[in-house]
Amino acid sequence: MELREIRTFLEVADLKSFCRAAEKLKYSQAAVTVQIKQLEKELNIHLFDRIGKQTTLTHEGEMFYQYASEIMRNVAYARNALGQSSELTGRLVIGTIESICSTLFPPLIREYHHRYPRVNINIIVDSPGTLLNMMNSNQVDMVYFLDRRMYDAKWVKILEKPEEIIFAASKEHIFAKETGLTIDQVITQPLILTEKDASYRFILEQYLASDDKKLHPFLEIGNTEFIIKLLKQNEGISFLPEFTIKKDMELGSLTRLSMKEFHLRTWRQIIYHKDKWLSREMKAFMELVLEMEER
């Protein structure tokens, strides 16, 4: 059963004429007859009585008329709601890591919600590996993460930006005003680090392993905000993406330690699966991210 057949049926019923219905719909009369016969075959009922020049609905035809009218009304409502409405009302599922969620997401999500208040946003925080697996199984719409440059033929990347990872401490720390610090000096201090599955901690561990050095943090925690609070209280040194403490450095509460010949970076990336249908909610989020990158 096709919508055009239902529409043809309603026109014949309203105009009480196959000929006039054909003229209005710009079909041949034979085409109208074929469509009605197809409907009758599918429904296994007789829809019209044609006696002389009169065309009237049968009892079954009158019953079907009510259902057919309801179907076309619902189709019109659906087209209006989904195709013509400029307001976004769907769902957006974003996978991200904790450091991005706690620092970059608050202004981003606030602006997105201000623009599209009826979109339901679900944020899932986990490690990059877990999130990419979730994306590949369509459990999240996209992944916003930090890691080495990641590539896969199944993915579409809309953002790739280098981010420095730095040693940070309180302005009151004994190393705050030192220059040319060595890695050995820093790693012997009390360290507050993210958990081992954090991509940038892994980068640091790999760097140290090449020189047979190891990290011995006094605290490991996956909450960047908590780490920053401890740093402000001068409780140690941490290794974080620079963007996570940018605001605190501008306010003067935290500082970047001056290191000798030490430069590590990671990549901030947004990826979605190439087979994923790109919803208007996803497009709007991506456009906003790129817009805010230029500010």
pLDDT tens, 209-267? 988 999 999 999 989 999 999 999 999 999 999 999 999 999 999 999 999 989 999 99
Residue 104: give its domain's CATH number: 3.40.190.10
**In the prediction, which pLDDT does 195 show?**
76
The Cα 230–Cα 172 span in angstroms is: 12
Indicate if 142 and 26 belong to the same structural domain.
Answer: no
Indicate if 284 and 257 belong to the same structural domain.
Answer: no
Indicate if 122 and 171 belong to the same structural domain.
Answer: no
Indicate if 136 and 155 belong to the same structural domain.
Answer: yes
Question: What pairing do the DSSP bridges indicate for beta strands 219-220 and 191-193?
Answer: parallel
Indicate if 187 and 228 belong to the same structural domain.
Answer: yes
Q: What is the mean pLDDT of residues 70-88?
A: 76
**In the prediction, which pLDDT does 82 show?**
67
Residue 196 has pLDDT above 90, yes or no: no
Average pLDDT for the chain: 92
Residue 248: give its domain's CATH number: 3.40.190.290
Residue 78: give its domain's CATH number: 1.10.10.10
Question: What pairing do the DSSP bridges indicate for beta strands 142-147 and 219-220?
Answer: unpaired
Question: What domain count does the chain have?
Answer: 3
Residue 31 has pLDDT above 80, yes or no: yes
* Token representation of residue 257: 């330690």
Shortest CA distance to 161 belongs to which of 287, 273, 288, 270?
Answer: 270
Residue pair 12/32 in contact (Cβ under 8 Å)? The answer is yes
In the chain, the percentage of residues whose pLDDT exceeds 90 is 80
More confident residue, 144 or 278: 144
Q: What is the mean pLDDT of residues 39-48?
A: 92
Indicate if 222 and 259 belong to the same structural domain.
Answer: yes
**In the prediction, which pLDDT does 197 show?**
73
Indicate if 276 and 146 belong to the same structural domain.
Answer: yes
Indicate if 168 and 245 belong to the same structural domain.
Answer: yes
Residue 132 has pLDDT above 70, yes or no: yes
Domain extent at residue 15: 3-84
Backbone phi, psi, residue 278, to 5°: -80, 100
**In the prediction, which pLDDT does 83 show?**
60
Q: What is the mean pLDDT of residues 40-53?
A: 90
Longest dimension (CA), the chain: 105
The Cα 82–Cα 132 span in angstroms is: 29
Residue 84 has pLDDT above 70, yes or no: no
Indicate if 249 and 289 belong to the same structural domain.
Answer: no
| Reported pTM | 0.69
